[in-house]
Protein backbone atom coordinates (compact mmCIF):
# COMPACT_ATOMS: atom_id res chain seq x y z
CA UNK A 1 0.00 0.00 0.00
CA UNK A 2 1.11 3.50 -0.87
CA UNK A 3 1.13 6.80 1.01
CA UNK A 4 2.20 10.30 -0.03
CA UNK A 5 2.28 13.69 1.67
CA UNK A 6 3.48 17.21 0.94
CA UNK A 7 4.07 19.97 3.49
CA UNK A 8 4.81 23.68 3.26
CA UNK A 9 8.11 24.43 4.97
CA UNK A 10 6.91 27.84 6.20
CA UNK A 11 4.53 26.16 8.66
CA UNK A 12 7.52 24.53 10.36
CA UNK A 13 9.42 27.81 10.44
CA UNK A 14 6.52 29.08 12.58
CA UNK A 15 6.75 26.01 14.84
CA UNK A 16 10.42 26.84 15.51
CA UNK A 17 9.15 29.68 17.70
CA UNK A 18 7.41 27.15 19.98
CA UNK A 19 9.59 24.19 20.90
CA UNK A 20 6.71 22.59 22.81
CA UNK A 21 4.90 21.95 19.52
CA UNK A 22 8.04 20.45 18.03
CA UNK A 23 8.58 18.19 21.04
CA UNK A 24 4.98 16.97 20.82
CA UNK A 25 5.34 15.95 17.17
CA UNK A 26 8.93 14.75 16.80
CA UNK A 27 11.21 12.29 18.59
CA UNK A 28 14.42 13.51 20.18
CA UNK A 29 16.46 11.81 17.40
CA UNK A 30 14.44 13.65 14.73
CA UNK A 31 14.87 16.96 16.56
CA UNK A 32 18.62 16.42 17.04
CA UNK A 33 19.08 15.52 13.35
CA UNK A 34 17.05 18.47 12.06
CA UNK A 35 18.71 20.99 14.37
CA UNK A 36 22.14 19.76 13.25
CA UNK A 37 21.31 21.00 9.72
CA UNK A 38 21.36 24.51 8.28
CA UNK A 39 17.71 24.49 7.12
CA UNK A 40 16.08 23.11 10.27
CA UNK A 41 12.47 23.69 9.15
CA UNK A 42 12.97 21.74 5.90
CA UNK A 43 14.19 18.66 7.76
CA UNK A 44 11.33 18.90 10.26
CA UNK A 45 8.77 19.44 7.47
CA UNK A 46 9.95 16.41 5.53
CA UNK A 47 9.89 14.25 8.65
CA UNK A 48 6.30 15.32 9.26
CA UNK A 49 5.46 14.55 5.62
CA UNK A 50 7.10 11.16 6.09
CA UNK A 51 5.01 10.38 9.18
CA UNK A 52 1.82 11.25 7.27
CA UNK A 53 2.87 9.25 4.20
CA UNK A 54 3.69 6.21 6.35
CA UNK A 55 0.39 6.57 8.21
CA UNK A 56 -1.47 6.64 4.87
CA UNK A 57 0.42 3.60 3.62
CA UNK A 58 -0.57 1.70 6.77
CA UNK A 59 -4.13 2.99 6.97
CA UNK A 60 -5.68 0.16 4.97
CA UNK A 61 -3.94 -2.45 7.09
CA UNK A 62 -4.65 -3.78 10.54
CA UNK A 63 -1.60 -1.96 11.88
CA UNK A 64 -3.07 0.84 13.96
CA UNK A 65 -0.47 3.49 14.61
CA UNK A 66 -0.54 7.13 15.65
CA UNK A 67 1.52 9.75 13.82
CA UNK A 68 3.72 10.04 16.91
CA UNK A 69 4.42 6.26 16.83
CA UNK A 70 6.20 6.80 13.50
CA UNK A 71 9.82 7.91 13.53
CA UNK A 72 12.29 8.57 10.72
CA UNK A 73 16.00 8.00 11.27
CA UNK A 74 18.63 8.03 8.54
CA UNK A 75 21.01 5.11 8.13
CA UNK A 76 24.77 5.55 7.81
CA UNK A 77 24.37 6.31 4.06
CA UNK A 78 21.76 9.02 4.72
CA UNK A 79 18.81 6.88 3.61
CA UNK A 80 15.71 7.46 5.78
CA UNK A 81 14.45 4.41 7.65
CA UNK A 82 11.09 3.98 9.37
CA UNK A 83 10.65 3.05 13.01
CA UNK A 84 7.24 2.16 14.43
CA UNK A 85 7.01 2.36 18.21
CA UNK A 86 10.83 2.51 18.35
CA UNK A 87 11.24 -0.66 16.27
CA UNK A 88 12.84 -0.47 12.83
CA UNK A 89 10.65 -1.88 10.07
CA UNK A 90 11.93 -3.17 6.75
CA UNK A 91 8.34 -3.50 5.51
CA UNK A 92 8.00 0.21 4.83
CA UNK A 93 10.11 1.89 2.17
CA UNK A 94 10.32 5.65 2.37
CA UNK A 95 11.69 8.33 0.07
CA UNK A 96 11.80 12.02 0.99
CA UNK A 97 12.79 15.25 -0.72
CA UNK A 98 12.67 18.92 0.21
CA UNK A 99 13.21 22.43 -1.12
CA UNK A 100 12.99 25.76 0.70
CA UNK A 101 9.22 25.80 0.04
CA UNK A 102 7.99 22.21 0.05
CA UNK A 103 8.77 18.86 1.61
CA UNK A 104 7.45 15.63 0.12
CA UNK A 105 7.44 11.99 1.18
CA UNK A 106 6.36 8.74 -0.41
CA UNK A 107 5.99 5.51 1.55
CA UNK A 108 5.26 1.96 0.45
CA UNK A 109 4.09 -0.68 2.89
CA UNK A 110 5.06 -4.17 1.68
CA UNK A 111 2.98 -6.29 4.01
CA UNK A 112 4.17 -9.60 2.57
CA UNK A 113 7.75 -9.11 3.75
CA UNK A 114 8.41 -11.51 6.63
CA UNK A 115 10.17 -9.17 9.05
CA UNK A 116 8.80 -5.92 10.47
C1 LIG B 1 21.18 11.80 -1.51
C2 LIG B 1 20.79 12.76 -2.63
C3 LIG B 1 20.14 11.96 -3.74
C4 LIG B 1 19.80 13.78 -2.05
O5 LIG B 1 19.25 14.57 -3.10
P6 LIG B 1 19.10 16.14 -2.97
O7 LIG B 1 18.48 16.63 -4.22
O8 LIG B 1 20.38 16.75 -2.52
O9 LIG B 1 18.10 16.38 -1.75
P10 LIG B 1 16.57 15.90 -1.59
O11 LIG B 1 15.87 17.00 -0.89
O12 LIG B 1 15.95 15.40 -2.83
O13 LIG B 1 16.72 14.65 -0.61
C14 LIG B 1 17.21 14.82 0.69
C15 LIG B 1 16.93 13.55 1.42
O16 LIG B 1 17.50 12.44 0.74
C17 LIG B 1 17.62 11.40 1.68
N18 LIG B 1 18.83 10.65 1.41
C19 LIG B 1 20.09 11.00 1.70
N20 LIG B 1 20.94 10.01 1.32
C21 LIG B 1 20.18 9.02 0.81
C22 LIG B 1 20.46 7.73 0.28
N23 LIG B 1 21.70 7.26 0.21
N24 LIG B 1 19.43 6.96 -0.14
C25 LIG B 1 18.16 7.41 -0.06
N26 LIG B 1 17.81 8.63 0.46
C27 LIG B 1 18.82 9.42 0.86
C28 LIG B 1 17.65 12.04 3.06
O29 LIG B 1 16.56 11.55 3.79
C30 LIG B 1 17.55 13.52 2.78
O31 LIG B 1 16.71 14.23 3.66
P32 LIG B 1 17.11 14.47 5.19
O33 LIG B 1 18.52 14.95 5.23
O34 LIG B 1 16.13 15.47 5.68
O35 LIG B 1 16.96 13.13 5.84
C36 LIG B 1 22.00 13.52 -3.19
O37 LIG B 1 22.47 14.42 -2.26
C38 LIG B 1 23.16 12.60 -3.57
O39 LIG B 1 24.07 12.39 -2.84
N40 LIG B 1 23.12 12.04 -4.75
C41 LIG B 1 24.12 11.07 -5.12
C42 LIG B 1 24.27 11.17 -6.57
C43 LIG B 1 25.41 12.06 -6.85
O44 LIG B 1 26.50 11.85 -6.38
N45 LIG B 1 25.17 13.07 -7.65
C46 LIG B 1 26.14 14.06 -7.97
C47 LIG B 1 26.81 13.75 -9.25
S48 LIG B 1 25.73 13.81 -10.61
Q: 68 is in which domain, residue-wise? A: 2-109
- Is residue 44 lining ligand 1, measured as CB closer than 6 Å? no
Is residue 89 situated within a structural domain? yes
Is residue 54 situated within a structural domain? yes
- 72 alpha carbon – ligand 1 mean position (Å): 15
- 77 alpha carbon – ligand 1 mean position (Å): 9
Q: What is the pLDDT of residues 1-37, one digit of tens each?
A: 999 999 999 999 999 999 999 999 999 999 999 999 9
Nearest to 50 by CA among 23, 79, 80, 24: 80
Is residue 114 situated within a structural domain? no
Tell me the C-alpha distance between 64 and 16, whole Å. Answer: 29
Is residue 115 situated within a structural domain? no
Tell me the C-alpha distance between 61 and 104, whole Å. Answer: 22
- Looking at residue 69, which CATH number applies to its domain? 3.90.470.20
Is residue 80 situated within a structural domain? yes
Q: How many domains does one find in the chain?
A: 1
Q: What is the pLDDT of residues 52-111, one digit of tens each?
A: 999 999 987 767 899 999 999 999 999 999 999 999 999 999 999 999 999 999 999 987
- Angstrom CA distances, 89 to 71, 81, 84, stand at 10, 8, 7
Amino acid sequence: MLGVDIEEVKRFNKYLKNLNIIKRIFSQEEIDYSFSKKNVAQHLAVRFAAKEAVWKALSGSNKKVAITDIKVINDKYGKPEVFIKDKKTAKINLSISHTNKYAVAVAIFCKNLKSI
